[in-house]
Amino acid sequence: MENIKVCVVGLGYVGLPLARLFSTKYETIGFDLNEERVNALNAGHDLTCEITDDLLQVAIKNGFKCTANIEKIKSCNFYIVAVPTPVDSNNRPDLYPLISASTTIGKVISRGDIVVYESTVYPGMTEEECLPVIEQISGLKFNVDFFAGYSPERINPGDKEHTVERIKKVTSGSTPEIAEIIDNVYNSVLINGTFKASSIKVAEASKIIENSQRDVNIAFVNELAKIFNAMGIDTMEVLEAAATKWNFIKLTPGLVGGHCISVDPYYLIQKAQVYGILPRVMSTARRLNDGMGEYVANQVIKLMNKKGVLVKDSKILILGVTFKENCPDIRNTKIVDVYNLLKEYTENIDVYDPWADVQVLEREYDVHLLQDNPFLLEKKYDAIILGVAHKQFSDCNIRQLLQNENGVVYDVKSFLDKEMVDGRL
């Protein structure tokens, strides 16, 4: 395939870094329906902090551009779809973003073009749900007039070590020849190369089990934390002791939020049931991890009661609300579950996070952020919850913010010195 011109559809945590990377080798356009997002990117600023302003501005200077105008992507011939794959309120896959993106591709695709999906889906979705939409809208026939592939995203928001150019990417194509073209295109911009899967379905399945495996493993450790907490044993000390064995996999308990681990397994769970398989391990893991926010809140209440702190109308501070440390991403954050349960007992809850976007948090969760650093204020609290291990909290004396020695400090991330806290997962 000659004269490749790339269009990345969806400029979020996955799409923007990928588009920026491809722009170092090919003429590249980023497409997103959010005009506010497009304007910010064209001005050289990424609100997700995945791409530094300097790097983005260099890309723009070298020809990279973003648009919300579908007419401006019709000249492309290598389309990459990197839109979210959420679930609805009943944890059923919500295919709207994928179908919408496929509709967009159908309006612009031409004969000989290739479309590659990166969004996490269940095995078969690309060929069963997405490509028929492109066929219907475009009037072109799949694998005759246009071709497809799947290369699962492996972006880890906030991770500055495993950036997109350093990730080994799985690739696949709808024919052996197209698979080779797609593999070569990705290989041309990656430092650590690719793994070419035998089919699109294999590539789709490989991605979804990456996230499901982590979900199950974390659920096991969370269950251990519940057991050891009930027995009065420090979970982290147990894990450190067990980790001295050469083949022990050391994981830590915590709240499972974000878009990957807390959402993607539902796609495989639903598809498995279509084939008559009830995925008990994955389903149980999802339920257990989804309930950890409520568990943390109840642990805090229990500690307050033990120390004689009245929970009703108490003053509580939550430090950190994003789903992971040193990252502004608030998608599916389980800290909100902690907040919502405690709010049943008191309205006096302050939330402070130097990374989170104030307006986005209020719009998505109706949670109002404390604007000023609480360590610079004179406010005092009955309980403090370290919810996210942001670097800004590493050298803070948390206990100085307590009303008195009876106050409670709970460390969700086992981030603080053990002597400083009253409880931790």
Q: Which domains does the chain have, with CATH numbers?
A: 5-206 (3.40.50.720), 291-424 (3.40.50.720)
Q: Which amino acid is at 288?
A: L
Task: Give the max Cα distance, the chain.
Answer: 73
Catalytic residue among 49, 260, 327, 396: 260
Cα–Cα distance for residue pair 256/334, rounded to 1 Å: 7
pLDDT above 90 for 260: no
Predicted pLDDT at 258: 86
User: Is residue 189 pLDDT above 80, yes or no?
Assistant: yes
Q: In angstroms, rounded to a whole number, what is the distance separating the alpha carbons of residues 370 and 402? A: 17
- Asked if 297 and 383 count as a contact pair (C-beta separation under 8 A), the reply is no
What angle is formed at CA 338 by the lines to CA 341 and CA 359, rounded to 5 degrees?
105
- Does position 396 have pLDDT exceeding 90, yes or no? no
**Contacts of residue 234, Cβ cutoff 8 Å, sequence gap at least 6:** 228, 418, 424
Angstrom distance (rounded) from CA 292 to CA 302: 15
CA distance 137 to 172: 24
Which region among 15-29, 181-195, 304-318, 384-398 has the lowest average model confidence (pLDDT)? 384-398
Contact 157, 13 (CB under 8 A): yes
**Closest by CA position to 147, among listed 172, 122, 184:** 172
| Each residue's pLDDT tens digit, 330-348 | 999 999 999 999 999 999 9
pLDDT digits (tens, 9 = 90+) for 281-332: 999 999 999 999 999 999 999 999 999 999 999 999 999 999 999 999 999 9
What does the alpha-carbon distance between residue 335 and residue 318 come to, in Å, rounded to a whole number? 9
Tell me: the pLDDT tens digits for 122-169? Answer: 999 999 999 999 999 999 999 999 999 999 999 888 788 888 999 999
Put residue 421 in one of left, alpha, beta given phi > 0 → left and psi -120 to 50 → alpha: beta
* Angle, alpha carbons 155-157-161 (nearest 5°): 75
| Per-residue pLDDT at 87 | 92
Task: Assess whether pLDDT exceeds 80 at residue 401.
Answer: yes
Cα dist from 108 to 34, 76, 143, 278, whole Å: 19, 8, 17, 40
- Is pLDDT of 1 > 90? no
Is residue 88 scored above 80 in pLDDT?
A: yes
DSSP-derived 3-state class of residue 150: strand
pLDDT-based confidence at residue 259 (cuts at 50, 70, 90): confident
Edge-to-edge strand ranges of the sheet holding 114-117: 65-67, 27-31, 5-9, 78-81, 114-117, 147-150
CB neighbour list of residue 354: distance below 8 Å, 6 or more residues apart: 373, 390, 392
Tell me the percentage of the chain whose pLDDT exceeds 70.
100
Task: Give yes or no for residue 2 having a pLDDT over 80.
Answer: no
Burial label for 312, CB within 10 Å (0-12, 13-18, 19+), is exposed
Q: Residue 245 above 80 pLDDT?
A: yes
Whether 260 is catalytic: yes
In this prediction, residues 192-200 reach a mean pLDDT of: 97
Q: Are 4 and 26 in contact (CB under 8 A)?
A: yes
d(CA 169, CA 307): 52
**2 vs 293, more confident:** 293
| The pLDDT of residue 207 | 95
What's the pLDDT band for 118 if we cut at 50, 70, 90? very high
Q: What per-residue confidence (pLDDT) applies to 281?
A: 97
Q: What is the CA radius of gyration of the chain?
A: 23
pLDDT confidence of residue 76:
97
Mean pLDDT of 85-108: 95
Question: What Cα–Cα distance (Å) separates residue 111 from each residue in 114, 182, 287?
Answer: 9, 16, 46
Mean pLDDT, all residues of the chain: 95
> Where does the pLDDT of residue 381 fall: very low under 50, low under 70, confident under 90, or very high at 90 and above?
very high
* CA torsion, ordered 155, 157, 159, 163, to nearest 10 deg: 30
pLDDT at position 157: 81
Report pLDDT for 80: 98
pLDDT in tens, 365-380: 999 999 999 998 889 9
